[in-house]
Structure 1
Amino acid sequence: MSELATVSAEIAPYLAMAASSLGTSVLTAAQQRITEHTVDAGEGFFRRLLGRDGDRLGGGAAPVLDVDRATSLDARLARLDDTERRALAEAVADWLAGPVTARDAAGFLSHMAPHLSGTTINSPTTYGDHSAAIGVVNGTVHLGGGTDTGRAS
């Protein structure tokens, strides 16, 4: 599933761009194509976003999607296995079913997170002020009793 995590992070800004500029019907079609294995490097979803005459989308605050980047993203999608494709399609469907205000890259990645393996949640108990029982943590550490957070590495 590490390939799925990488692909998800790479495509998130472009999915958000498509959702805001082209609407959900385009993404719903893409979701079906991802599930059905019809995304490929030559005529995949991102290549189609550019259209026949377009050579790039985005710019300014939006990520730029050009022919080379579109082809690369489609190739990455094409390499996903069936399980990864289903997970990606489910995340896209959940994301589209959610509020319009959450149709950004972060919103998509939050729907993708439950489909990615390797996430472990532990709830250790310690005693005493400011005590923490921590092994190896990748992510954000929240210590109870306050609003401060610390970033673990």
Structure 2
Amino acid sequence: MSDLATVSAEIAPYLALAANSLGTSVITAAQQRIAERTVTAGEGFFRRLVRRGDGAGGGLGGATQPLLDAERADVLDELLAGLTDEERQLLSAAVAAWLRGPADRRDAPHLLDHVGRLASSAGGRTVYNTPTATGQGSIAAVEIHGDIHMGGSDRTRDSS
């Protein structure tokens, strides 16, 4: 679920911006497309928001709000496209719950709170990897949460 957390943190400010400036119906439609996997890179939701924002495709937001321009929209759409079906369903459910809440709670932190609660209740899964490395001082790892202790001999080696 780490991809869901990362993607949610990236898209939350822009969903909040769109919900508050363009209306919740725009986000409701996006929430349904996210769940159905019809939001994919190339024809994505955020790219459509840019065009919808000012009619000229220049961007949405700015000043004290995050700026959503064409380049950022493409990045966000690619992040959405990379989510698994399970992650998309959780994100969709979180967005729906967020939209049902009071208007004064339609901001990025509250959306992330919904995502976090749904993801934790869905239960995580443990993936086991067996990285292998050889040679003095070698280490192979995918993602490390915690401390690393490397063993080795007590004697030091001088390469000179």
TM-score range (shorter-chain normalised) is 0.7 to 0.9
Please list, as runs of the form range in 1=range in 2, the aligned pairs for 1:118-129 lying within 5 A after superposition.
Answer: none
Q: CA RMSD in A?
A: 1.6
Match of 2:18 in 1: 18
- Structure 1 length as normaliser, TM-score? 0.74
Q: Is 1:32 the equivalent of 2:24? A: no
For 1:116 and 1:10, how far apart are their aligned partners in 2? 16
Match of 2:70 in 1: 67
Match of 2:99 in 1: 96
Aligned residue among 40, 56, 60 for 1:53: 56
Match of 1:7 in 2: 7
CA deviations over 1:33-63 (Å, ceiling 9, x no partner): 1011111111111000011622211111100
Question: Over alpha carbons, which structure has the higher Rg?
Answer: 2
Quick one: which amino acid aligns to residue 104 of structure 2?
T
Q: Is 1:78 the equivalent of 2:109? A: no
* Paired residue total: 119
Quick one: which amino acid aligns to residue 58 of structure 1?
G
CA deviations over 1:128-153 (Å, ceiling 9, x no partner): xxxxxxxxxxxxxxxxxxxxxxxxxx
Match of 2:43 in 1: 43
Q: CA deviation at 1:117?
A: 4.3
For 2:110 and 2:44, how far apart are their aligned partners in 1? 23
Moved more, 107-116 or 58-67: 107-116
What is the DSSP-based 3-state SS (H/G/I as helix, E as strand, rest coil) of the residue aligned with 2:67? Answer: strand
For 2:40 and 2:10, how far apart are their aligned partners in 1? 16
Quick one: which amino acid aligns to residue 91 of structure 1?
A
Quick one: which amino acid aligns to residue 82 of structure 2?
R
| Structure 1 stretches of at least 4 aligned residues deviating more than 6 Å after TM superposition | none
Alignment gaps of 5+ in structure 2 = 122-160
Alignment gaps of 5+ in structure 1 = 119-153
Structure with the largest fraction of strand: 1
For 1:32 and 1:40, how far apart are their aligned partners in 2? 13
What is the DSSP-based 3-state SS (H/G/I as helix, E as strand, rest coil) of the residue aligned with 1:10? Answer: helix
What is the DSSP-based 3-state SS (H/G/I as helix, E as strand, rest coil) of the residue aligned with 1:63? Answer: strand
For 1:39 and 1:114, how far apart are their aligned partners in 2? 23
For 1:117 and 1:3, how far apart are their aligned partners in 2? 14
